[in-house]
Amino acid sequence: MADKAMRMARAGASRPRPVMVAIAGDSAAGKTTLTRGLVEALGPQRCASLCVDDYHRYDRVERRGLPFTALHPDCNHLDIMEQHLQLLATGQPVLKPVYDHATGLLTRPERVEPREFMIVEGLFPLHSRLARACFDVTVFLDPAEDVRRAWKLARDTASRGYSAAQVLAELQRREPDSAAYVRPQRRHADIVVRFAPIPVRDDPPGTPLSAELLLRPTIRHPDLSAVLAQAAPAEGLRTMHLKLARDTDGRPVDTLHVHGYVPTEESRTLQKIIWAQLDEPGEVPESLGLLGGSGARSEPLAITQLLLLHHVLEAGR
């Protein structure tokens, strides 16, 4: 019952312990983009992120001879990842391994000091009970598979030195491990985020993706009806709405639909209302909603990040 011991240790810890947030999901599910906006919004003094894909057991050359992909637990030091999560969750620094995605080599480890808020993203942060016991808020990114494939193709050909054919072959090779080990983490998340076009609508190409958030009652979510009540009724409802539903296992759950097709200004109005409730100084941070370095934005991403900020800040209070 190491997970229970960990929960007790955190509850009783005397040294300041960080708020720990997990952002899990498959390769190119948008973890880094979501994380970056949160870290910048909270500021590097208060918040740091780490990627647990650095706990790869083998480098790229060594993996070639192996019968499994990087998405298999045996391909990762998951027990060391758990150990480091426990240390960080109880306020201790770690010397984290480093995997260089550009070269495929394992390199000099880096020291990670716990901050007030720690965002842990990667393929496996929710893999085990013990790992999950280290977090205050857990998120699983579950974009529509077509969307994820397009994102992976774009990223891996642009910045990781692969050809399109290599990326597609790798997606196929990884599929069984993804189904067996990555996607099952979805059921352990407090919040599941799905970016996708809205199927029932016939929006023109180029319409921003919408976000559907599963808000499971495993944590206390903000009162969104109060937020919506502050906006003009039509505007609020166009931007997002909350719907009672059943989870895949039949449990009751709230689903929040954040629409990509609404005018930016309407979405921004709602963002300001949510931000005002967070009791943070200043305006809505510019980093929220940013997609990569190009300056392109996604308003549903910004709203998703604002809801996560609510949880992160609440957990720290």
Give me the residues that bind a second copy (CB under 8 A), please.
Answer: 57, 59, 77, 79-80, 83, 87, 92-95, 97, 105-109, 111
Q: How far is the CB of 316 from a second copy (least distance, A)?
A: 24
Closest to a second copy by CB, 99 vs 135, is 99
Between 57 and 188, CB nearer to a second copy: 57
Shortest distance (Å) from residue 7 CB to a second copy: 18
Q: Smallest distance, Å, CB 80 to a second copy?
A: 5
The residue written with tokens 């070639």 in the block is: 64
The values of phi and psi at residue 253, to 5°, are -155, 150
Half-sphere exposure (Cβ direction) of 58: Cα atoms closer than 13 Å: 16
19/78 with CB nearer a second copy: 78
- Are residues 23 and 31 in contact, defined by beta-carbon separation less than 8 angstroms? yes
CB 120 within 8 A of CB 20: yes
Whichever of 87 and 219 has its CB closer to a second copy, that residue is 87
Q: Compute the least distance from the CB of residue 109 to a second copy, in Å.
A: 5
Query: What is the nearest approach in angstroms of a second copy to the Cβ of residue 4?
Result: 14
Q: Which is nearer to a second copy, 8 or 95 (CB)?
A: 95
> Could you please report the per-residue DSSP string of 104-156?
TEEEEEEEE---SEEEEEES-TTSSHHHHTT-SEEEEE---HHHHHHHHHHHH
Q: Work out how close the CB of 19 gets to a second copy at its nearest, in angstroms, rounded to a whole number.
A: 22
| Residue whose C-alpha is closest to residue 99's, from 65, 66, 123, 83 | 123
- Whether the CB-CB separation of 207 and 231 falls below 8 Å is answered with no
> 114 with 15: CB under 8 angstroms?
no
Q: Which is nearer to a second copy, 106 or 123 (CB)?
A: 106
